[in-house]
Amino acid sequence: MVIGAIQPLKNVQEEIIKSFLKKVNTEPVKKATKPIGTFFTDLYRRTIDRFNPIVKVTREAEKLGGLIPKGQNPELLARRYLGIKSIAESKLGWKTWNLTPDGRIKITGEGLGKILHPIKNNLDDFRALLVAEREKELFGRGITKGINEGEADQVITALKNKLGPGFAKLESTAQATRDYAKRSVLDPLKEVGAISQEVYDTVLKSNQFYTPFARLIEKLEAKGTVGSSRELFQVKTQPLKRIKGSEKQIIDPLETLINNTYRITDFTEKARVANSIVNLRKFGVEEIKKVSPKMAPVAKVEGELVFRPSFFNPRPDTIAVLENGKRVFYKVPSDLAKLMTELSPGESNIVANFLSFPAKTLRAGATLSPEFIGRNPIRDQFTAFAK
């Protein structure tokens, strides 16, 4: 009698979890239109000869102020960017790390593939747990759009009843995944000055159960591509977005986390190059100077215009960097500014294809395979630093 009652209860729990997972879209959302294998060949052929402005200003700085540490050397960092695919995949399949000023790799934790490996056969329950815990946190913050009160608690209870002792493994993996998100997204942004310490602390405090909630947008899905930036090593936008809630389906959070690893790695490595260039003024390069932004009218209050710093570069020979979360402009040699701010349409397509690649082929299953990890996950980084 008791045994017969267990089976219907288990079925009810399965239905609760399956119904909840309808919120999550696990179909491929974006697809690359060009094989990823061509990325490095094309990018190297199109840009390597154009690095001369960076080489010149780096050589000038070394003549004036002495040897530049490898982790701050613009020429080495720019050439290292050609290995951006390996840099991102090393975080996914191997370890997360920081780049020290002297060019050493400082390990900070496990990669996503190793974290997910223990629960690789139970990813649906894992997705349900990630989304439920995040929705519960957001509801507590007053972000209720698309979230039903009490539903998250019901799903978490169903998972506990279904998995029994196995729920602890799922929970510990969820916490490790959230820590990976911090190490691969938030920490690098703070490292390159894209966010301030204050913002960093605030984000951590209010997002203890962070799970990326990218939403399915039908137009983007139909188009199959993402927008491309024309900037090479130019910081344009702040990569963090404020969450508002939505009724749309949530893109598989594991896919989004993989995608975010690529996008944030690309953003921070570009920012690292730009930062290293403006820091050459400390080595005596007088041509690199901080300049004031243009002021633009943003509103009219009691008949008077209110001005704010413009988002755009104030003059053609300037580049932008983020310092303590704020956009700052610097005057640089004109040929260097052109290199930093311009990509040809062909180069833009290469970068766009690279950033849109993590769809179906770089889902959790890909990060768990030995072939994905490879033998030399950060080989290209050390190759870039070789003299």
Q: Please name the residues in contact with 151: beta carbons below 8 A apart, sequence gap of 6 or more.
A: 20, 132, 135
**Residue 54 resides in a domain:** yes
Domain count, the chain: 1
Distance, CA of 172 to CA of 64 (rounded, Å)? 52
- Residue 335 belongs to a domain: no
- CA dist 92 and 81 (Å) reads 17
| Strand 24-25 with 250-251, pairing | parallel
3-state secondary structure of 235: coil
Residues 6+ apart with CB under 8 A from 121: none
Q: For residue 378, what pLDDT is reported?
A: 47
Report yes or no on 380 lying in a domain.
Answer: yes
Closest CA to 132 of 118, 107, 149: 149
Give residue 63's pLDDT.
Answer: 94
**pLDDT value for 17:** 80
CA distances from 162 to 1, 120, 166, 175, 188 (A): 19, 17, 9, 20, 38
The one-letter code for the residue type at 28 is P
pTM of the predicted structure, to 2 decimals: 0.78
Give residue 165's pLDDT: 93
CB 153 within 8 A of CB 16: no
Within a domain: 337 = no
Residue 95 lies in a domain: yes
Burial 141-169 (b: 16+ CB within 10 A, else e): eebeebbeeebbebbbebbbebbeeebee
Distances (CA, A) of 134 to 8, 131, 156, 303, 364: 29, 5, 11, 45, 19
Domain span at 224: 2-286+349-385
Place of tokens 């690893």: 261
User: pLDDT 10s per residue in the chain (387 long)?
Assistant: 455 555 666 677 888 888 877 777 777 655 444 444 445 544 544 555 568 889 999 999 999 999 999 999 999 999 888 888 889 989 998 999 999 999 999 999 999 999 999 998 999 999 999 999 988 888 888 877 777 888 889 999 999 999 999 999 999 999 999 999 999 999 999 999 998 999 899 988 988 988 876 655 433 333 333 334 446 676 666 666 666 656 577 778 888 898 889 889 988 999 999 999 999 999 999 999 999 888 877 777 777 777 777 777 888 889 999 999 888 999 999 888 888 876 544 445 555 555 555 544 444 444 445 444 444 444 445 444 444
106 lies in some domain? yes
- Give me the pLDDT at residue 157, please: 92
Is residue 320 one of the residues assigned to a domain?
Answer: no
Give the HSE-up count for residue 372: Cα atoms under 13 Å, Cβ half-sphere: 23
Does any domain span residue 294? no
Instruction: Provide the CA 358 distance to its chain's centre, in angstroms.
Output: 12
Contact call for residues 380 and 87 (beta carbons, < 8 A): yes
pLDDT at 96: 95
Kindly state the tokens that stand for 5. Answer: 């009652």
Phi, psi of 80, deg, nearest 5:
-65, -30
In three-state secondary structure terms, 102 is: coil
Q: CB within 8 A of 375, min separation 6: which ones?
A: none
